[in-house]
């Protein structure tokens, strides 16, 4: 099987490429700039989701396209939605114009679905209620892609929190716990689901090979849409304690940030980002997602695709610590 991975040097795309190469697949990686750490067993091609011609060329002759690329600009920019919508339509059109359209597996986000309600894990069949600009953008892209489902075999994967090395966002969280502090926004216990990046990579391959597809004109709540996560669904405070255990720390101080203070900090950070015209890790989107409901999902549908058991969240946190220590990004215990 020949597989095209878009966004092949990103956090998810990079780990996915390595996984597929280990699996012995014929991998083509689409990048905007040629990577410095070239994998010899990868066919690297230049391309951009804003350039339809480059996408059509990259998709030529492949059996499967796994789309991880996105234009992750600051969500307050006027073109944030339109640019990402254009990219989604371009990748679908590139697949559709092939003589035999390849299967298209798209990495979306649980943010497109919205948080859990009343303590019940989200299911793929629940109505989408995104609460952030990022989630609204992802849902709009998913709906735009679904319009092509009559011409392209299409599946959507909506992971919750994705963690693992060498992701810098994950590293910040682990470093905070390493220093003995875990910040928790709001006083209400909110549960989360999470998936290690390498397990997500394995799942994306499984969806491409044997997953269900959206049928022509199907609503996104039907077959062909997947949540994927580890079985554990800790509160965010418990998640910090699990990281502490993985680090070998006997305890961590869980510090609750009041919703009012967190909101003011978020608005201030976004105002600074707007002034500098740069994305910021803390903004109004993050405030909304962190303070409204839980982010845990039902993985019954995904469980049918695993050919080997999924590792536990606890063991994957330990793997992440080991990986960061191997990179000298965390202190050795």
HEC per residue, 168-211: HHHHHHHHHHHCCEEEEECCCCCEECEEEHHHHHHHHHHHHHHC
Say how far apart CA 260 and CA 69 lie, in whole Å. 35
Say how far apart CA 251 and CA 103 lie, in whole Å. 47
What is the per-residue pLDDT for 222? 74
Please check whether residue 185 is in contact with residue 291, taking contact to mean a CB–CB distance below 8 angstroms: yes
Based on its alpha-carbon atoms, the radius of gyration of the chain, rounded to whole angstroms, reads 20
Packing angle, helices 133-146 and 80-96, rounded to 10: 20
For Cα atoms 132, 107, 301, give the angle at the middle one, nearest 5 degrees. Answer: 95
What is the per-residue pLDDT for 324? 96
Residues 6+ apart with CB under 8 A from 71: 49, 50, 80, 83, 84, 87
What is the per-residue pLDDT for 111? 95
Say how far apart CA 163 and CA 198 lie, in whole Å. 9
What is the per-residue pLDDT for 285? 80
Q: In the chain, which stretches have pLDDT less than 50? A: none
Residue 216 CB neighbour total at 10 angstroms? 12
- DSSP symbol at 79: T
Nearest to 110 by CA among 300, 286, 297: 297
Please check whether residue 318 is in contact with residue 218, taking contact to mean a CB–CB distance below 8 angstroms: no
What is the per-residue pLDDT for 56? 95
What is the per-residue pLDDT for 216? 78
Residue 265 CB neighbour total at 10 angstroms? 15
What is the per-residue pLDDT for 304? 94
Residues 6+ apart with CB under 8 A from 309: none
Integer CA distances (angstroms), 3 to 200, 205, 224, in order: 16, 9, 19
What is the per-residue pLDDT for 218? 57
Please check whether residue 312 is in contact with residue 230, taking contact to mean a CB–CB distance below 8 angstroms: yes
Say how far apart CA 185 and CA 231 lie, in whole Å. 23
Please check whether residue 158 is in contact with residue 109, taking contact to mean a CB–CB distance below 8 angstroms: yes
What is the per-residue pLDDT for 247? 97
What is the per-residue pLDDT for 219? 60
């Amino acid at each position: 099987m020949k597989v095209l991975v878009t966004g092949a040097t990103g956090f998810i795309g990079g780990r996915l490429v390595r996984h597929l190469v280990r699996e012995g697949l014929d991998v083509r990686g689409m990048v905007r700039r040629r990577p410095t750490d070239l994998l010899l067993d990868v066919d690297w091609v230049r391309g951009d989701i804003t350039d339809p011609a480059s996408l059509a060329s990259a998709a030529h002759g492949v059996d499967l396209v796994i789309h991880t690329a996105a234009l992750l600009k600051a969500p307050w920019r006027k073109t944030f939605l339109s640019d990402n919508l254009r990219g989604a339509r371009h990748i679908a059109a590139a697949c559709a114009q092939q003589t035999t359209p390849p299967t298209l597996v798209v990495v979306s986000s649980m943010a497109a679905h919205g948080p859990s309600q009343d303590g019940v894990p989200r299911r793929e069949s629940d109505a989408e209620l995104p609460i952030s600009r990022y989630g609204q953008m992802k849902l709009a892209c998913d709906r735009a892609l679904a319009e092509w489902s009559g011409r392209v075999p299409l599946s959507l994967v909506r992971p919750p929190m994705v963690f693992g090395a060498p992701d810098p966002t994950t590293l910040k969280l682990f470093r905070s716990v390493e220093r003995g502090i875990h910040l928790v926004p709001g006083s209400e216990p909110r549960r989360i689901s999470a998936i290690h990046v390498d397990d997500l990579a394995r799942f994306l391959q499984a969806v491409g090979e044997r997953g269900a597809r959206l049928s022509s004109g199907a609503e996104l709540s039907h077959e062909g849409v997947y949540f994927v996560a580890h079985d554990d669904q800790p509160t965010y405070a418990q998640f910090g304690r699990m990281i502490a255990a993985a680090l070998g720390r006997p305890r961590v101080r869980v510090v609750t940030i009041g919703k009012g203070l967190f909101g003011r900090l978020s608005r201030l950070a976004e105002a600074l980002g707007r002034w500098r015209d740069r994305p910021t890790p803390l903004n109004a989107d993050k405030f909304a997602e962190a303070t409204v409901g839980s982010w845990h999902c039902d993985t019954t549908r995904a469980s049918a695709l695993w050919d080997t058991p999924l590792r536990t969240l606890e063991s994957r946190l330990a793997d992440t610590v080991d990986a960061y220590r191997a990179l000298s990004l965390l202190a050795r215990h």
